[in-house]
Amino acid sequence: MTLNQLKLENEGKILNIGCSENIKRRLLDLGLVKNTNIIPVLISPSGDPKAFEVRGTLIAIREEDTKKIEIKI
Amino acid sequence: MGKSTIFNSLTGMHQHTGNWPGKTVANATGKATINSKDFLFVDIPGTYSLMSNSEEEEIARDYICFGNPDATVVVVDSTCLERNLNLLFQIMEMTENVILCVNLLDEAKKKKIKIDIKKLSEDLGIPVVGTTAKKKRTLENLKQTIYKVCIGEITPKPNKVIYEKIIEDGIEDVKTALDEVVKLEGKEHYKNDFLRWVAIKLIDGENKILNSIKKNTKLQIDYPKITRKVEEVRKKLQDQGITEKNFKDKIVSNILYKSEEICKKVCIFENENYTYRDRKIDKILTSKVFGIPIMIIFLAVIFWLTIVGSNYPSNLLFSFFGWIQDKLIELAIFIKLPEWISNMLIFGVYQTLTWVISVMLPPMAIFFPLFTFLEDLGYLPRIAFNTDKFFKKACCTGKQMITMCMGFGCNACGVTGCRIIDSPRERLIAILTNNFIPCNGRFPFLISVATIFIAGAYGGGSSILATLSVITIILIGIFLTLIISKILSKTILKGMPSSFVLELPPYRKPQIGKILVRSIFDRTLFILMRAIKIAAPAGLIIWLLANIGINGETLLNIIANFFDPFAKIMGLDGYILTAFVLGIPANEIVLPIILMCYLKSNMLIDMEDTFAIGEILRQNGWTIITAINVMIFTVLHFPCSTTLLTIKKETGSLKWTIWSFIIPTACGIVICILTNFIYHICIV
């Protein structure tokens, strides 16, 4: 499944990041690599973007990008 | 994070700090003396990584690699140590003399995170110092460590990240080739670590970094022997499934795993739910129902405090400068200065100058500390988070909203604030559209006009109507920002799709004292100085125009008459348009110039009484439609000279500065003509 399908407060594990090169780079910098745990915790008032808890930090990512991040539960 | 704070404490400088990464864009330097030895500190941009090639990262990387620092202090946030160790390992790959400063220990303590500093130091092989910016003693400790590393009393031996065997072998192969070339050329002063780093970058094939290496060192990395070796290694790696594409991913992942491993050993989370409080606050501040209303309330309160609070100090400044003015007049008479010279200097230069100070200083001195408070708290990234969707539709980023909020205080500051936007395209859009947001200087004028004509038209006590009309005008400005941003990104600023990956930092208790000092020095006084530089000559020009005449008619009148036919089409008159043009040094003087023209005076006129102003304006033909058009044009016209100068400085381009002049002006003219046209059709 992909990250955008993960329900709030549920934990997933990152399998693959298929975003465009510069966003992928940025996500890697922020600590999103294979096998990293990720939990969606906030939704912006208009539904997009969402914020995820990763390695003790909170990171906002747009839906168009979370669609391209594969995870497993 | 907290790097600039540490830098300031070490050097006593006032580098602006904010609760988001990437504040420092260019290198700032400061001096300090430790144990009677002089040290030069260089504050380099804060980043998460040195691998994604943003502008800040390049500056940071180039300085660490080629600036030959005696030591590199890496400042990390103790509340998210794991993520920050990533950067540390990348730096340890380039240079040996690294000191880790684990900052914000007080915040960590609050969140019940315990960090074993000693063990961390052992595991990393470098000196580690824990600091709390508020506690002087911890900083002294850092200073001493820096001293010891610089004089060689402590030699850091960084434990580098070890990659998979096949990658390590490849690195070693390329490094051997590099070693040989270096020896051949007799340039043996390159450190082992540095050459290993170059080897990794060669395999990776990142052109930007390689070009930087070529530019800054004499290392012959184009040497055929090396190029051949690199090709060979790449082929070997490819056979093992490590392609050009995933090589870097492997490197980054390895670094992150190592960070994770170390963190597990040295951090104890006594309270597993340590982010509980932050999440609870976030749930409210970004909730579907309250998120946006709370944001509006926050901003509204800030504006209200600014407008109400600046009245009194403004008047005080006015009377103070007025008192000096009287003395100056006496002095001029006493030294028998010719009247025209003294008038020109006092009523022209001095009066305009002090006018600008009196009207600009108090609102900025109130707005910026309040805004910096929100910034320090960590709320601003949440604003970007809440509003990103709207900006995404306009093909830009939610961070633009933060720069717009700053624009309410001062557009020049808003333009400078655009540095937080990573993508050059989106940054330019934010800069070009910032002026659609009315700044502090335009607010009082908007409110006066609304009170006189819109509230006044429907009888007294309808201040709600006046407020609503001002809000409507602001909403038009915001709406146009989005429309114009969209148009820009579809036309002259086509290119990369917009992106938005943003960290929402933990909330922090703002340090009031520092906020006051920083916001006043870095923002308020900085902007004021720029405004003053322009106000003085502008004052001279305005005075000359109002006092020099041809055939008994002042130049001001001639200009106004020239503009009049065109202004009439826009539903304004020649004087109003002239006032906007002459008001370019500061929007605050537009109304005084209008009054000066109407009263046939030869100096700027200040009036307290809105009722009296209303009378004068009505006598000179203002109607409700004039008022509406004036309000529209106040929001939609060329930026003030300070903002224009700032845009020139930030973009480094005259072309974009001219665009930033044309875009809002064109919008204003078109919309004024339309409203005027529609109004007259409806009336007839």
Nearest by CB to B249, from A20, A28, A58: name it. Answer: A28
Contact state of A30 with B83 under an 8 Å Cβ cutoff:
yes
In angstroms, what is the C-alpha Rg of chain A?
A: 11
The single-letter code of the amino acid at B542 is I
> B342 vs B26, which has greater pLDDT?
B342
Give the pLDDT of residue B478: 92
B1, pLDDT greater than 60: no
Give the pLDDT of residue B273: 63
Contacts of B548 by beta carbon, 8 Å cutoff, 6+ apart = B554, B555
CB-based contact B406:B414 (threshold 8 Å):
yes
> Across B180-194, B448-462, B474-488, which has the greatest mean pLDDT?
B474-488
> Across B355-369, B439-453, B460-474, B564-578, which has the greatest mean pLDDT?
B564-578
Q: Is the peptide bond before B438 cis (omega within 30 degrees of 0)?
A: no
From B71, B75, B35, B42, select the one nearest B59 (Cα to Cα): B42
* pLDDT 10s digits, B515-546: 787 778 777 887 788 778 888 888 888 888 88
Contact state of B392 with A23 under an 8 Å Cβ cutoff:
no
Which residues of chain A make contact with B86, given a CB cutoff of 8 A?
A: 29, 31
Q: Give the span between the Cα atoms of B137 and B113, in whole angstroms.
A: 21
Give the pLDDT of residue B17: 47
Q: Write down the ipTM of this complex.
A: 0.95
Which residues of chain A make contact with B283, given a CB cutoff of 8 A?
A: 42
**Which of A33, A37, A48, A66 to mutate to probe the B interface, most B CBs <10 Å?**
A33
Contact state of A60 with B503 under an 8 Å Cβ cutoff:
yes
Nearest by CB to A45, from B291, B384, B502: name it. Answer: B291
Nearest by CB to A41, from B86, B279, B388: name it. Answer: B279
Distance from CA of A63 to the nearest CA of B (A): 10
Q: Which residues pair with A17 in a beta bridge?
A: A69
Q: Give the span between the Cα atoms of B54 and B47, in whole angstroms.
A: 9
Which residues of chain A make contact with B288, given a CB cutoff of 8 A?
A: 43, 45
Give the pLDDT of residue B600: 79
* pLDDT 10s digits, B223-272: 888 888 889 888 888 888 888 778 888 888 888 889 888 988 888 877 66
Distance from CA of B53 to the nearest CA of A (A): 9
Q: Does A55 touch chain B (CB under 8 A)?
A: yes
Which residues of chain A make contact with B500, given a CB cutoff of 8 A?
A: 49, 60-62
* pLDDT 10s digits, B300-309: 888 888 878 8
Provide the H-helix boundaries in A1-73: 21-29, 63-66
Q: How far is CA B90 from CA B70, B211, B549, in A?
A: 18, 19, 69
From B640, B626, B543, select the one nearest B585 (Cα to Cα): B640
Taking the CB of residue B279, how many other CB atoms lie within 10 A of it?
Answer: 15
Among B8-22, B150-164, B442-456, B607-621, whose mean pLDDT is lowest? B8-22
Residue written as token pair 């940071």? B60
Strand B98-103, strand B72-77: pairing: parallel
Q: Does A42 touch chain B (CB under 8 A)?
A: yes
Strand B98-103, strand B128-130: pairing: parallel
| Average pLDDT of span B440-463 | 74
Q: How confident is the model at residue B635 (pLDDT cuts 50, 70, 90)?
A: very high
pTM: 0.81
Nearest by CB to B389, from A42, A44, A65: name it. Answer: A44
Q: Give the span between the Cα atoms of B58 and B645, in whole angstroms.
A: 26
Q: What DSSP state is assigned to residue B133?
A: T
Residue numbers of the domain that contains A10:
3-72
Nearest by CB to B48, from A30, A48, A61: name it. Answer: A30
Contact state of A58 with B291 under an 8 Å Cβ cutoff:
no
Closest chain B residue to A16, measured at CA:
B249
What secondary structure does DSSP assign to B617-670, as a single string? HHHTT--HHHHHHHHHHHHSSPPPHHHHHHHHHHH--HHHHHHHHHHHHHHHHH
* Average predicted confidence (pLDDT) for chain B: 85
B514, pLDDT greater than 70: yes
Q: Give the span between the Cα atoms of B321 and B552, in whole angstroms.
A: 32
A22: domain CATH number is 2.30.30.90
Contact state of A45 with B86 under an 8 Å Cβ cutoff:
no
Contact state of A60 with B385 under an 8 Å Cβ cutoff:
yes
Q: Give the span between the Cα atoms of B434 and B396, in whole angstroms.
A: 13
Nearest by CB to B501, from A46, A53, A59: name it. Answer: A59
Nearest by CB to A45, from B257, B288, B497: name it. Answer: B288
From A16, A71, A5, A68, select the one nearest B501 (Cα to Cα): A68
CB-based contact B639:B411 (threshold 8 Å):
yes
Among B11-20, B335-344, B476-485, whose mean pLDDT is lowest? B11-20
* Residue B115 DSSP SS3: strand
Closest chain A residue to B281, measured at CA:
A42
Contact state of A60 with B288 under an 8 Å Cβ cutoff:
no
Q: Give the span between the Cα atoms of B308 and B318, in whole angstroms.
A: 16
> B79 vs B127, which has greater pLDDT?
B127
Q: Does A44 touch chain B (CB under 8 A)?
A: yes
Q: Give the span between the Cα atoms of B426 and B290, in whole angstroms.
A: 28
Nearest by CB to B48, from A29, A56, A65: name it. Answer: A29
Q: Does A36 touch chain B (CB under 8 A)?
A: yes
Closest chain B residue to A58, measured at CA:
B504
Contact state of A55 with B83 under an 8 Å Cβ cutoff:
yes
* pLDDT 10s digits, B362-406: 888 888 899 888 888 889 999 999 999 999 998 889 999 999 998
Which residues of chain A make contact with B499, given a CB cutoff of 8 A?
A: 20, 22-23, 26, 62, 65
Q: Does A8 touch chain B (CB under 8 A)?
A: no
Among B447-461, B498-512, B636-650, B664-678, whose mean pLDDT is lowest? B447-461
Contact state of A20 with B497 under an 8 Å Cβ cutoff:
yes
Which residues of chain A make contact with B291, given a CB cutoff of 8 A?
A: 44-45
Domain count across chain A = 1
Provide the H-helix boundaries in B267-290: 276-285
Q: Does A23 touch chain B (CB under 8 A)?
A: yes
Closest chain A residue to B269, measured at CA:
A56
B52, pLDDT greater than 70: no
Closest chain B residue to A17, measured at CA:
B249
Give the pLDDT of residue B631: 93
* pLDDT 10s digits, A14-61: 998 888 877 888 888 888 888 889 999 999 998 889 999 988 789 999
* Pairs of CB atoms within 8 A across A/B: 127
- φ, ψ of residue B123 in degrees (nearest 5): -65, -30
Helix/strand/coil percent split, chain B, to 5? 70, 5, 25
Q: How far is CA B225 from CA B177, B188, B228, B238, in A?
A: 7, 18, 5, 20
The single-letter code of the amino acid at B270 is E
Contact state of A62 with B502 under an 8 Å Cβ cutoff:
no
What secondary structure does DSSP assign to B152-217, as a single string? TSS-----PPP--HHHHHHHHHHHHHHHHHHHHHT-TTS-HHHHHHHHHHHHHT-HHHHHHHHHHS
As a residue count, chain A comes to 73
Residues B16/B19/B25/B28 CA torsion (nearest 10 deg): 40
Contact state of B249 with A33 under an 8 Å Cβ cutoff:
yes
Give the pLDDT of residue B462: 58
Distance from CA of A2 to the nearest CA of B (A): 17
Give the pLDDT of residue B480: 93
At B558, list the tokens. Answer: 């001639």
Closest chain B residue to A37, measured at CA:
B260
CB-based contact B625:B675 (threshold 8 Å):
yes
Which residues of chain B make contact with A52, given a CB cutoff of 8 A?
A: none
**Which of B112, B501, B502, B503 to mutate to probe the A interface, most A CBs <10 Å?**
B501
Contact state of B504 with A59 under an 8 Å Cβ cutoff:
yes
Distance from CA of B641 to the nearest CA of A (A): 36
| Average pLDDT of span B461-489 | 85
Taking the CB of residue B536, how many other CB atoms lie within 10 A of it?
Answer: 16
Contact state of B388 with A62 under an 8 Å Cβ cutoff:
yes
Residue written as token pair 């109400």? B308
B630, pLDDT greater than 90: yes
Nearest by CB to A26, from B52, B497, B504: name it. Answer: B52
Q: Give the span between the Cα atoms of B583 and B460, in whole angstroms.
A: 31
> B283 vs B56, which has greater pLDDT?
B283
Q: How far is CA B330 from CA A15, B178, B223, B335, B605, in A?
A: 81, 79, 78, 9, 21
Which residues of chain B make contact with A45, given a CB cutoff of 8 A?
A: 286-289, 291-292, 386
B437, pLDDT greater than 60: yes
At A49, list the tokens. Answer: 């973007």
* pLDDT 10s digits, B140-160: 888 999 999 998 888 888 888
Helix/strand/coil percent split, chain A, to 5? 20, 40, 40
Contact state of B257 with A51 under an 8 Å Cβ cutoff:
no
The single-letter code of the amino acid at B130 is G
Contact state of B253 with A33 under an 8 Å Cβ cutoff:
yes
Q: Does A15 touch chain B (CB under 8 A)?
A: no
Q: How confident is the model at residue B20 (pLDDT cuts 50, 70, 90)?
A: very low
